[in-house]
Amino acid sequence: MNKTRKILFVCMGNICRSPTAEGVFKTLAQKDKRLPELFVDSCGTIGYHAGEPPDPRSVAASKLRGYDLSAIRSRKITQHDLEYFDLVLVMDKENLSNTRNLIDKDHANQQKIKLFLDFAKESTVSSVPDPYYGGESGFDDVIDLIEQASRGLIEYLA
C-alpha cells in the first residue's frame, strides 16, 4: 500500500505564491495516475493574513488557467508542519532561510526544506518572485514558474 506523500508550499504571507502552488500542483497531480496519494497544503512564514483567502489577483489569474484557489485560507507555518510534511517547498531564498531557522540546523528535517524551483529544470531563476506589489502580468509569470516546477515535482514523485 502506498504511503500518502505530504507536501507543503511556503511563501511569506500565504496569499499569492504558495496558495497558487497548492492549487496548481493539486490540479496537475490529480491528472497523473502514476502518483501515490498526496496531501497538499500551503502556509506563510508570517501570520499577517491568517484566515484570509488568496489575493484576488492570484485567484483571477489561476481561474483563467483552470485552477481553483477558492477553498484555500492563509495560515502561518508551525513547528508541527516541519515534522508532519515530507517535503516543504519554499518559494524564495528569504523564506527558505526563515523556514530553516525554525528548526535546529543539525536536525534531519532540514533536508526536506527545498526551493520549489529546484524542480523546474527549464527555469533559469531560483526563486518565484512575489507578485504582490507588481502589475497584473506578475501573477501570470508566477503561474508559469509554478507550472514548470509542478511538472518537475510530479516527475520526481512518480
Q: Inform me whether the pLDDT recorded for 104 exceeds 80.
A: no
**Total-model pTM:** 0.95
The residue to which cell 484576488 is assigned:
56
Q: Inform me whether the pLDDT recorded for 107 exceeds 80.
A: no
Structural domains of the chain sorted by starting position, each given as residue range(s) with its CATH number in brackets: 5-157 (3.40.50.2300)
Catalytic residues: 11, 17, 130
Q: What is the pLDDT of residues 40-62, one digit of tens each?
A: 999 999 999 999 999 999 999 99
What does the H/E/C string look like for 112-154? HEEEHHHHCCCCCCCCCCCCCCCCCHHHHHHHHHHHHHHHHHH
pLDDT band of residue 2 (cuts 50, 70, 90) is low
Tell me the C-alpha distance between 19 and 69, whole Å.
Answer: 7
| Residues of the chain above pLDDT 70, percent | 98
pLDDT of residue 143: 97
pLDDT of residue 35: 87
